[in-house]
Amino acid sequence: MIKIDLTKLTLVKAAEALKRGDFNSQDLVAAYLQAIEEKNSALNIYLEVFTDEAKQQAEAADKRRERGESLGELDGLPIAIKDNMLIKGHLVSSGSQMLKPYSATYDATVIKKLREAGAIFLGRVNMDEFAMGSSNETSAYGPVKNPLDPTRVPGGSSGGSAAAVAANLALAALGSDTGGSIRQPASFCGLVGFKPSYGAVSRYGLMALSSSLDQIGPLTKTVEDTKLLFDVIKGQDPLDSTSTEAQNAKRKTQNFKIGVPWHFFEDKLEPEVLADFKQSLEKLKVAGHEVKDINLPNVKYSLPCYYVIQPAEASSNLARYDGLRYGYRQPGEKLLDDYLQTRGRGFGREVRRRIMLGTYVLSAGYYDAYYGQAKRVSKLISQELAQALETVDVIATPTTPSGAFKLGERLSDPIQMYLADIFTVPANIAGLPSVSIPAGKDKNQLPLGFQLTAGFGQEETILTLGQNYEHVISLS
Amino acid sequence: MIKPEEVAKLTELARLEMSAEERTKIGQDLSAILDYVSELKSAGSAVGSPDLGRSAPGNPKSELPTASLPVNIWRADLPTPSSATREELLASAAASQDGYFKVKKILG
């Protein structure tokens, strides 16, 4: 077997190596399968490795390459998929017992697009149950460990996706982001994590958590890789009527105006996180960009807004899990008992908590005070962000208030856990594209993230500035 | 803040069987979270907030600058090919008969 240094690879570098003939797809897949065998049980990343299928896909990719019929940049490259996206014929669990067993009856649109591009699916990776969580500790299959420090969390809910790439057990991964579930784990694991504009990527085949907030996106080592994956998975899909073609009016390449809402986070950060963030801005100024103070008086309501809207929509979306058509079932005496027992036992604690919360805020007498108010406040926040983004090109904040915390540290107080998402949720509330890029390190030498958010449809803006930032950081 | 009877009613509505112990714990969690989210009442009152006509949902003033935000769209009301066959979809059913999902009786 050819010895490949997986730590040195990115999607782009691997594609170049394949073209040069340094190794082929089968070699690459063999190397990843070996690495997974060695490291997976300690980190609990992969719920299932698609060993045979990955080898077959690699063989097919190599034959295409030999015939000069490569499908494109992604052809023959192995990636990991968060286990809430349907891959036809494969078991899929959403990190829950509730879908044990359930075999996908169709391909998600993103999966179909990746297949057509020749990407290889190494396997399905662990996640917080039904994507509810910020640490990958709510999974029914056990927590994922942060590869950089296995006593700490990788973040969540796309913890498995982030850990897979950070541990060099996949070249890249797909995750989903409802309140920060791509960006926060990317930040905790030292990766690029990108949430596109709402609707930029089809949600067909993604198990819905909160339908007005969910988006699928990539977790990669570089912004270049993120662009590559995003280009393949994006696009309007007739099967997802909330999907749109990304409109991109602005075409800026330099001298960006970066807006910073200091009032929003200055007092909420660990001191070294604030210092690191300031340093990032200094480096961007040196590179020719302008940094401006901006005022966003209502953006602080994003998190309470989120914790009304998301549980409400989740309670509705998760009503389908009743054991009658698929999945886990605990039959009782009557039909109602079937439901009560199946759902009471099939769902984990955090899921039950959020379903209860969602049911409450949607119930008669409380609907307008909670859900109605939260929807009004989201409009307010969207408008406020849109107005700010008319005066600046992007908004910058740290991705998270701290680096990765210890396993078990935040399990007893749900609000402490929820606060991990405080800087990521505004982009979901407003449907805006947002990316987290590796910045410096926290006091425990663990990664921190620098987050950029732009106007609706302005993916190119944040990815262009993001690449410049990457370059500027690498110089120091 | 949230009463035990309300928690019990919620478990019924959400179809979640729950022990008395868990109902107590969840009641405490929900009260804490509801407390936290009730901050939303003060949104929009700070100086510099966009005008939203908050008192009247549906008020035209609460419409957003259309150029910068997504707009609701509808697909044509036409049938599209199914992603899976009837057999495939029934394969995971708890019970099926004659091409239908079979369930316990709902009434009576």
Type of residue found at A429: I
What phi, psi does A372 have (nearest 5°)? Answer: -60, -45
- Chain A residues touching residue B83 (CB < 8 angstroms): 105-106, 239
Residue B34 Cα, gap to closest chain A Cα (Å): 8
Candidates A298, A317, A329, A412, partner chain B, best to mutate (most B CBs within 10 A): A298
Pairing of strands A46-49, A120-125: antiparallel
Contact between residue A85 and residue A92 where contact means Cβ atoms under 8 Å apart: yes
Q: Is B81 on the interface with A (CB under 8 A)?
A: no
Task: Assign B108 a pLDDT band (cuts: 50, 70, 90).
Answer: low
Return d(Cα A193, Cα A176) in angstroms, integer.
10
- pLDDT less than 50: residues of chain A: none
Distances (CA, A) of B47 to A261, A265, A298, B61: 15, 19, 10, 18
Distances (CA, A) of A347 to A101, A322, B15, B64: 14, 11, 11, 38
The pLDDT value recorded for residue B68 is: 46
Return d(Cα B31, Cα B50) in angstroms, integer.
30
Identify the three-state secondary structure at position A405: coil
Identify the three-state secondary structure at position A268: helix
Could B40 and A301 be called an inter-chain contact, meaning their C-beta atoms sit closer than 8 Å? yes
Return d(Cα A100, Cα A328) in angstroms, integer.
5
Mean pLDDT, rounded, of chain A: 95
Distances (CA, A) of A256 to A276, A409, A451, A469: 20, 39, 15, 11
| Closest CA relative to residue A290, chosen from A254, A261, A262 | A254
Return d(Cα A268, Cα A401) in angstroms, integer.
6
Could B15 and A336 be called an inter-chain contact, meaning their C-beta atoms sit closer than 8 Å? yes
The pLDDT value recorded for residue B49 is: 74
Contact between residue A142 and residue A150 where contact means Cβ atoms under 8 Å apart: no
The pLDDT value recorded for residue B77 is: 86
The DSSP code for A290 is E
The pLDDT value recorded for residue B37 is: 93
Residue A410 Cα, gap to closest chain B Cα (Å): 14
For B1-31, b where at least 16 C-beta lie within 10 A, e where not — what string?
ebeeeebeebbeebbbbbeeebbeebbebbe
- Chain B residues touching residue A198 (CB < 8 angstroms): 70
Contact between residue A98 and residue A327 where contact means Cβ atoms under 8 Å apart: yes
Return d(Cα A472, Cα B16) in angstroms, integer.
52
Residue B43 Cα, gap to closest chain A Cα (Å): 6
Could B16 and A323 be called an inter-chain contact, meaning their C-beta atoms sit closer than 8 Å? no
Return d(Cα A379, Cα A358) in angstroms, integer.
20
Pairing of strands A215-220, A172-177: antiparallel
> Model-level pTM?
0.94
* Complex ipTM: 0.88
Return d(Cα B36, Cα A36) in angstroms, integer.
42
Return d(Cα A107, Cα A161) in angstroms, integer.
19
Residue B32 Cα, gap to closest chain A Cα (Å): 8
Could A379 and B64 be called an inter-chain contact, meaning their C-beta atoms sit closer than 8 Å? yes
Joined together, the tokens standing for residue A399 give 């991705």
Pairing of strands A447-454, A394-398: antiparallel
Known catalytic residues of A? 82, 157, 181
Identify the three-state secondary structure at position A94: coil
- Chain B residues touching residue A370 (CB < 8 angstroms): 34, 37, 40
**Number of other residues whose CB lies within 10 A of the CB of residue A101:** 11
What phi, psi does A428 have (nearest 5°)? Answer: -75, -45
The pLDDT value recorded for residue A329 is: 92
Pick from B13, B44, B93: CB nearest A298: B44
* Pairs of CB atoms within 8 A across A/B: 176
- Chain B residues touching residue A308 (CB < 8 angstroms): 37, 40
pLDDT digits (tens, 9 = 90+) for B5-34: 999 999 999 999 999 999 999 999 999 999
pLDDT digits (tens, 9 = 90+) for B32-77: 999 999 999 888 777 677 765 444 444 444 444 334 455 677 777 8
Return d(Cα B45, Cα B48) in angstroms, integer.
9
* Phi-psi sector, A367: left (phi>0), alpha (psi -120 to 50), beta: alpha
Type of residue found at A190: G
Beta-bridge partners for A220:
A192
Could B10 and A383 be called an inter-chain contact, meaning their C-beta atoms sit closer than 8 Å? no
Helices (H), ranges, A287-322:
302-317
Q: Is B62 on the interface with A (CB under 8 A)?
A: yes
Mean pLDDT, rounded, of chain B: 81
B3: closest chain A residue by CA: A360
